[in-house]
Amino acid sequence: MSELLTILTPPDPRLRRKARPVAEGDADRVRTLAERMLATMYAAPGIGLAAPQVGEDLRLFVMDVAEKGAPPAPQVLINPELVEASRETELREEGCLSLPNQYAEIERPYRIRARWLDLSGRRQEAVLEALAARCFQHELDHLDGILFVDHLSPLRRNMILRRLAKELKAKAQAR
Ligand code: K1U
Ligand code: ZN
């Protein structure tokens, strides 16, 4: 069983940095980190988790968007890139493990073409749509220091961030 990692919450500045690309020399570290990130994601539970959310300054994320009841389909995406996005968009509710219990409808491209490296260093390219495309975009945002609330108006963003701060404070005081 992998050691679980702590998921950061705002205002931790590590959530707001642009992460650096994974280099060849990071291979061993990335293998262990990805394993721990997957264990942390499944335990949360969530469908994605990006390295900056666990304090790691690296461009990598994990995701599993398998349908309920289907076998697990863990993926590790290294140095991911969004190549193309559809003009067609979808409005759908999002959550974030770094913003526990906060949700909002966010509009994003419905379909994307994406590229990344897998754990063996092989280049991968795929067209993703619906939840897979949304999760990829949400996680890619994390690598650029962007949270889903940044896609909302400043008023709604601040409402959510203030509510979260209040809830986290109450939780800490209850301990
Ligand atoms: O990056 C993260 O914070 C993980 C986040 C990913 C995500 C959720 C929704 C839309 C796009 C990206 C989550 O996994 S939040 C939890 C969640 O969505 C979920 C939890 C349990 C079952 C199913 C979904
Ligand atoms: Zn998130």
Condensed to tens digits (0 to 9), the pLDDT of residues 127-175 reads 999 999 999 999 999 999 999 999 999 999 999 999 999 999 999 999 8
* Ligand 1 atom with minimal separation from the 7 CA: 3
Mean of per-residue pLDDT scores for the chain: 97
pLDDT of residue 18: 98
DSSP secondary structure of 30-67: HHHHHHHHHHHHHHTT-SEEEGGGGT--SSEEEE--PP
Within 6 Å (CB) of ligand 1, which residues are found?
45-50, 94-98, 134-135, 138-139, 142
Tally of helices (H runs) and strands (E runs) in the chain: 3, 7
Ligand 2 centroid–CA 41 distance in Å is 11
For residues 2-14, average pLDDT: 97
Percent of residues, the chain, with pLDDT higher than 90: 98
Ligand 1 centroid–CA 25 distance in Å is 30
Q: Is 106 helix (H, G, I), strand (E, B) or coil?
A: strand
CA separation for the pair 167, 171 (Å, rounded) = 6
What's the one-letter identity of residue 50?
A: A
Tell me the pLDDT band of 87, cut-offs 50, 70 and 90.
very high
Ligand 1 centroid–CA 144 distance in Å is 18
* Ligand 1 atom with minimal separation from the 96 CA: 3
Element spanning 79, H or E:
strand 75-85
CA torsion through residues 21, 127, 75, 47, sign = positive
pLDDT of residue 175: 87
For tokens 């896609």, the residue is: 151
pTM of the model: 0.97
Q: Which ligand is nearest to the CA of 95?
A: 1
How far, in whole angstroms, is CA 170 from its chain's centroid? 25
Determine if the peptide bond prior to 45 is cis (ω within 30°).
yes
For residues 8-23, average pLDDT: 98
Active-site positions read 139
Nearest CA to ligand 1 atom 13: 46
